[in-house]
Amino acid sequence: MTTNIKRELFSEIKKHQKNIPAIAIVGARQVGKTTLAKELVAENENTLFLDLEKSSDREMIKETEAFLNLHKGKTICFDEVQMMPDLFLSLRNFIDNNSDTKFILLGSASPELLRQTAESLAGRIYYFELSPFLWTEIKQKTDLKTYQLRGGMPLSILAKTNEDAFIWLQNFIKTFLERDLRNFGFNIPPTTLNRLWTMLAHINGQVLNYSQLANSMGVSHTTINNYISILENTFMLRILQPYHNNIKKRLIKAPKIYFRDTGILHSLLQLENFEDLYTHPVYGTSWEVTVIENIIHKFKNWNYYYYRTSNGSEIDLILTRGNKKIAIEIKASSIPKVTVGFWNALEDLKVDKAYIIAQVSMPYPLKNKVMVYPLDEFLTLEND
C-alpha cells in the first residue's frame, strides 16, 4: 500500500500529528496499518518502531517508564498495541510531562474494545480508522466486479488472480480464528466462531435475531451477543442500528448485520469467482456491503442507520448530521425498481435528499427529486 492510494488519510494524519501527542490508527488485521505508519515516519530518522506481537519487543519495554525516558524527543510507534493494554497508563503520565515526544499507536481492535485508551489517554489521542481499500482509491487498478468479489483487503484485491485472492482470504480467516483472536485475549474455539461467522454470512444484510442464532448454535443469547461484539470490534462486522427519532410508526427495532469486507463474506460462502457470486442469494446484499462501506467512509462525520416499519416501509441507509437527513436505497440491478415501501418511508422521514445507488452507467432523475446514481459518481459528490 502506498500513500498515493491512501493519500487523503495520509494527509489528514500528518496534519493532526503536529499538534496531537498520540495518534492511533485502528483497523482490521492485514489492512495496511504498519505500512502506512512506516510511511508516516519515513522522512524522520529520529523514530522507533516496536511490534508488540514480538516477545522480544515486549521485553524491551517491560520497564516502560525507563524506556520512554531513554527515548525522549523521538517518534515512537507501537504496533498491535492491544497486546499490552497496561501501556496506556504509562503513556498518559509520560505524555503529560514530555510534549516533545510523539506516539503512533496501531491496533487491530476498535477504541470501544480498547477501553483503557478512553480513560487513560482522553484528550491526548486522536483516532483514525484505516479501512480496506475504498473504490475511489483502487479503481485505477481493477474493475468494479473484481472489487466486489475480492473486497478491499490489499493482498486480496491486488492478487494476480481470483484463485490467489481466494487462497489468501481463506488463510486470513484461518489465522484470524486460530491465532489473532487468542492474541486479543479471546479464548473461543475456532470451530465454534467459524460456524457462527459462516451462519452470519448467509444472513448478511438481514435483521439480527440473536435468539434464533443462539438456538441454532446451542448457546445462550448472551454468548451470541458477545461473539458478534468481538467480530464487530475487530472490524469484521458492521452492526447497523435502526433509525427511530421522532417517528410515530411501529418500527423494526433490531439491528441489521453486515460484513465489513465482501472478500471475507464470499470466502466464508466458498464463492471463488463472479459467476458463482452472481447466481448466489447473497449477491444483492454483497453489493449493499460494497456501497455501504464506501458511503460510510465518505460521510465519515455523519451518523448512519437503516429504516424499516412493521408495514413494510423501508430504506437501506439513512445518513444524519444535525438537522440534515439523506436517504439511500441500494439496488444491484442496472434497471433499479423501488417499491411503494420506499416512497412511504420517504414520506415518513421527510429527508432532505434521496438517492438510489445502482449499477447504472450514469446519473438520472427518477421522480419526486429522487436521483439514481452509479456508485462511482455518487462518491465524487460534495458532502452537503
* pTM (2 d.p.): 0.92
Each as own residue / partner, the long-range contacts of residues 171-178 (CB below 8 Å, 24 or more positions apart, any chain) are 172/29, 172/30, 172/264, 172/267, 173/197, 173/264, 173/267, 173/268, 175/29, 176/29, 176/234, 176/236
- Spatial strand order in the sheet of 75-79: 47-51, 75-79, 102-107, 22-26, 125-129
Cell of 34: 504498519
Nearest 5°: the CA angle 144, 150, 154 is 100
* 30 within 8 A of 172, measured Cβ to Cβ: yes
Note the pLDDT of residue 384.
66
Note the pLDDT of residue 118.
56
Note the pLDDT of residue 352.
95
Note the pLDDT of residue 1.
47
Q: In sequence order, which residues have a C-beta less than 8 Å from that of residue 128 and are 6 or more positions away?
A: 9, 12, 13, 23, 24, 25, 26
Query: Would you write out the chain's pLDDT as a tens digit for each of its 384 residues?
Result: 455 567 777 788 877 777 888 998 999 999 999 998 888 888 778 899 999 989 999 999 999 999 999 999 999 999 998 888 788 888 988 998 888 899 999 988 776 666 666 577 777 888 889 999 999 999 999 999 999 999 999 999 999 999 999 999 999 999 999 999 988 888 899 999 999 999 999 999 999 999 999 999 999 999 999 999 999 999 999 999 999 876 667 777 899 999 999 999 999 999 999 999 999 999 999 999 999 999 999 998 899 999 998 888 899 999 999 999 999 999 999 999 999 999 999 999 999 999 999 999 999 999 889 999 999 999 999 876
Alpha carbons 384 and 382: distance in angstroms, whole number: 6
The half-sphere exposure of 21 on its side-chain side, counting CA atoms within 13 A, is: 18
Alpha carbons 27 and 134: distance in angstroms, whole number: 14
Show the domains of the chain with their CATH numbers: 7-129 (3.40.50.300), 135-378 (1.10.10.10)
